[in-house]
Chain A
Amino acid sequence: MQRNVAIIGCGQTKHGRLRDVNTAEMIAEAAWKAMEDANVSPDEVDAIVVGNMQGFGGIYDTELWAGELFGAPKPFLRITTGGTTGGSVAHGGYYSVASGLYDVVLAVAWEKHSDSKERGASTGLAHVAMANIFHTMQQGASIKWLVSLATGAATGVSAFQASCYMYRSGCKVKHLDMVAAKSRRNAAKNEYSHLRWPNCTPEDIAKTEWVSYPLRFGHVCPASDGASAVVYAEEEIAKKKTDRPAWIKGVAAYADEPNLMGENSQGTAITDLSEQLQCILSAKAAYRRAGIKNPRKEIDMAEIYQPFPHQELMFSERVDLFDDGKAWIALEEGQTEIDGSMPLDPSGGVLSTNAIGSSAMQRVLECALQVMGKAGKHQVPKDVKNAVAHGWGGATNFTTITIVGDSPRK
């Protein structure tokens, strides 16, 4: 007998360069907001799941120092998986309650880029692969070739991925401009987001300089500070605490082997970065667990993890909301706008707010807000029965999928 689990409260900080708080205060703000929203006191919280990409903030296991500001002493579980960290933390919170070991669990994820000299994932991630690069050099590989693989880090890899996707789908740079402009416009409606630009047009984005073809400066996510938190509860408590809980209907997080280099750069890995098999598998498993047979009919909106605009198109196809290579047509038709038939990232998404450890958690949180009808100005103008929260990370090889819905799984 599986246990039904729901999100009963959400909390997040404003995102941007937060110089008036330290990491502990920032995390605590999100955590307390979530507990207040859920109408639970810290004493009612049985356990806490946390995570961030700790290299970026320069603090090792932040919760050991900061934990007492949001609940210690309590059972803590630190779960981190790179870009998908927030999604993995969200899953950790879900599993903590679904296991029956705990009834109420707080899950909180964060990033504070501005505290360290690290320039964030968009340029400073080369060290992810550094040990493997050195090892491969020991085996005799040329440094020129290896550097060409690692240059540009997340932006470099994503530019390559965007090219793969454009080749596969026939989408053009102008579509990337459209996605970016939509994201900035949506973000302007979200009081917590970082890059906000009301009335931003694709032409505005097209004026920005190239970073790495086919990506322009206007296509790149920011490096934000921020934290987000949700409170999970089992069925009875959830129904008692809130009128409209956001039920977690299915989760899955498949991993593939790291793309591009493969095992010690032997070239054994996937070369088409727009394939994203792990995402397809995760979505299938999550839909199966959620009892969703036809996602295109049953899903009402999605929050896709899109630090770069082609990813919103690509991943919306991989989670089976559109045919492979056809999402840009839906974009042209306006289907993915807030008031469209399949709104994607009404919050503005990762393109507009990227506190990395927290970003994939925010996708879950935003879906929960939409289901609960609490998204404010960026609430989609239709009844959200089921929503997909997507997370992406690793070296393009991790995905987390969470299906959030307005009724418990049967």
Chain B
Amino acid sequence: MKRKIAIVGYAQTRHESDAANTREGMVFEAAKGALDKAGITREAVDTVINVSSDYQDGRTISNLFLVMAEGAYLKDESKVEMDGAFGVLYAMMRILSGNHDTALVVGVTQGSIFNPHQISFYTVDPTFDRQIGLLNDVSAAAIQAKMYKNKYGVSDEQIASVSVKNLVNAANNPYAHRKISDLTVQKVLDSKLYYDPIRELNISSISDGACAVILASEEKAKEIADAPVWIKGVGSCQDSYLRDRNLLKLKSLEIAAKKAYEMAGLKDPFTELNVAEVTERFSHEELMIYEALGLAKEGEGKILVEKGVTERKGQMPVNPSGGALGADPILATGLVRMVEAAKQIRSEAGKYQIQGVRQALAHGQTGLCAQSNIVFILGGES
């Protein structure tokens, strides 16, 4: 990278359902919180990237009325309509270009206003798949989960234990939405069936929430923050449409991760990373993510969760915050992953702090069956 870039401030709202708050209110809370955390005011921000979606919000130009709430008025502003982590990528590009030195990224979705599972129907091929009416994000994930189970002999219990791990972890996270400290595999298997084998507790918890991150160039970061969290690597890739790719593999995530590792100089992610925060919209997806990130061999993601490797106290903790299963404010989710990774590096994660985190991974995704993926490697010391 031409310039070093750091995260110098961040904040998120409590993620919940039917929030008694407007999108504007949530965005303000997150943006103001991030500025306060960085110890700067609006005036010190050069550019603002909003992350929201016209479809998720049910209105055209979803960033239009957020200009005041996020403090973007009379500033260079734009909107990324993908996962929040892609918003961070665009903000990074703006700083790397030399036009800007500091950037604020704010993501928001109120998932409880419009059911995102229904909205996902509008992402499928409008000519064939929409007319047939069978595909949405959950049914597509069910097809993927079945293929994955059959090919690699993964059991429902192994998939359920991902939910158990993440939702129990979420119980320690004051910002998480779905916290179940006494969850068991059996309870997951007894939860409501959506599309076989996907059950209610296998699906991410649709939330209302906002999250904000402030980025700064090296010079500014050292001025602003005592302990900046450096972006050491980033990679992203978008796969072909559902019907035209191998659903058994998250190929685009594999490519994204490889690129991010290369940039960060990581040779063995399993030993060099201390914690990973990933966006798992469905519990089987987390197992596939392990494999695509190179933390497990092909088809062996189940072993990590079975042996407790990815538990909070395990060798390679994944989603100690509870992940997307614990709270999924759709477009803000990737941003939340970055914030949670940064908190681990700065030892601010409280009850779910992992000891001695020096390098962390954050992952965001957009599209059915994790079609478009982005991976960030964050690190503490400069």
Contacts and interface: CB of A to CB of B under 8 A. Distances in A.
B103 to A, nearest CB: 11
A388 B56 CA distance: 34
A95 B75 contact: no
Given A2-B98, A254-B76, A54 B65 contact: no
Main secondary structure on chain B at its contact with chain A? mixed
A100 interface: yes
Interface in A76-98: 76-83, 88, 91-92, 94-96, 98
Contacts of B81: 51, 54, 61, 78-80
Contact of B240 (A72, A96, A99, A393): A72
Contact of B59 (A68, A127, A258, A393): A127
Interface in B255-309: 255-256
B68 A257 contact: yes
Given A64-B371, A95-B93, A128-B59, A58 B126 contact: yes
Contacts of A76: 82, 236, 238, 372
Interface in A359-410: 393-395, 397-398
| Size category of the binding interface on chain A | 35 or more
B352 interface: no
A73 B64 contact: no
B67 A256 contact: yes
Interface string B362-382: 000011100110000000000
Nearest to B239: A73
A138 B366 CA distance: 34
A74 to B, nearest CB: 6
Contacts of A59: 122-123, 126
A291 interface: no
Contacts of B53: 60
B72 interface: yes
Contacts of B68: 257, 263
B60 A258 contact: no
B194 interface: no
Interface stretch (A129-137, A157-165, A224-232): A129-137
A217 interface: no
Nearest to B2: A100
Interface string B87-105: 0011011101111000000
Contacts of B239: 72-73
A130 to B, nearest CB: 7
Given A101-B96, A257-B68, A127 B60 contact: yes
Contacts of A99: 2, 92-94, 96-97
B122 A77 contact: no
Contact of B60 (A66, A98, A101, A128): A128
B64 A128 contact: yes
A125 interface: yes
A28 interface: no
A61 to B, nearest CB: 5
A221 interface: no
A95 B89 CA distance: 11
Residue from B86, B123, B368 with most neighbouring chain A CB atoms (10 Å): B123
Given A58-B126, A99-B93, A253 B77 contact: yes
B87 to A, nearest CB: 10
Interface string B40-71: 00000000100001110111110111011000
B115 interface: no
Contact of B61 (A2, A100, A128, A251): A128
B127 interface: yes
A81 B63 contact: yes
A344 interface: no
Contacts of B123: 59-61, 64-65
Contacts, number: 204
A67 B244 CA distance: 11
A67 B238 contact: yes
A5 to B, nearest CB: 9
Nearest to B236: A75
B125 interface: yes
B109 interface: no
Interface stretch (A208-216, A277-285, A303-311): A277-285
A277 B74 contact: yes
A80 to B, nearest CB: 5
B89 A77 contact: yes
A65 B125 contact: yes
B64 A78 contact: no
Contacts of B94: 95, 99
B372 A64 contact: yes
A3 interface: yes
A74 B259 CA distance: 12
Contacts of B255: 73
B124 interface: yes
B55 A2 contact: no
Contact of B54 (A53, A66, A289, A397): A53
B80 interface: yes
Contact of A131 (B59, B75, B99, B372): B59
B60 A125 contact: yes
A55 interface: yes
A168 to B, nearest CB: 21
B67 A397 contact: yes
A82 B64 contact: yes
Given A64-B123, A289-B99, A253 B76 contact: yes
Interface string A1-27: 111000000000000000000110000
Given A99-B93, A252-B76, A257-B68, A81 B98 contact: no
A329 interface: no
A55 B78 contact: no
Pairs of residues from A and B, 8 with the lowest C-beta to C-beta distance, nearest first: A82-B61, A99-B96, A98-B97, A99-B93, A60-B122, A255-B77, A76-B238, A68-B240
27 contacts: A2-B99, A22-B126, A51-B81, A53-B60, A54-B55, A55-B59, A55-B60, A61-B55, A64-B241, A65-B123, A65-B126, A68-B241, A74-B238, A77-B86, A80-B81, A81-B79, A96-B93, A98-B99, A125-B60, A128-B61, A255-B74, A255-B75, A256-B67, A258-B64, A263-B24, A278-B74, A289-B99
Given A99-B92, A99-B94, A395-B64, 11 more contacts: A2-B97, A22-B126, A68-B241, A82-B64, A91-B78, A92-B78, A253-B77, A255-B77, A257-B67, A263-B68, A289-B99
